[in-house]
A = this chain, B = another copy of it.
């Protein structure tokens, strides 16, 4: 199948097959795709939780209006933005650049200043919005990579972020829940899998200039 055929095959899975789990290799491939997702400056101002614990997942389901994907998928992937986006986060990233690229840190000073300047110009709510958007790029990469591998997923915004943060102990980690995506395999009787995909026609979606 081409990637387009795979993107047509995917859908927001409502009912997962509880008996089918991702292999360790499949999960690792999805996580690697997330790791490789681009972000503004490459800063990756989020962490990603991979939740398998059944008791925790039962609590998350309660905080997600009872939606079965939380307990029935193979894993629940949770994108959680850093709550403190400051020069320290940038400094740490620049340390990492110097390490990976075998560069002397002094040569990264101008780039570091640009990033710190950008971050410091943003108000707190703007920082969160900016950071959340980066996590959504990673979500898009994850969903595409999952489709490529024939793995189902369900991107979800319908949950109580505050309760998720509490259940997962995120506040203490300086994180807050942004968006989630249970991953696994569709149940054979998920009626949603047979529905025709509805998208804006190209003539309405695209403007050529």
Contacts and interface: CB of A to CB of B under 8 A. Distances in A.
A209 B52 contact: yes
Nearest to A44: B200
A180 interface: no
Contact of A208 (B7, B12, B33, B52): B52
Interface in A165-209: 168, 173, 179, 195-200, 202, 204-209
Interface string A27-58: 00101111111101010100111111100100
Interface in A42-84: 42, 44, 47-53, 56
Contacts of A97: 198
A139 interface: yes
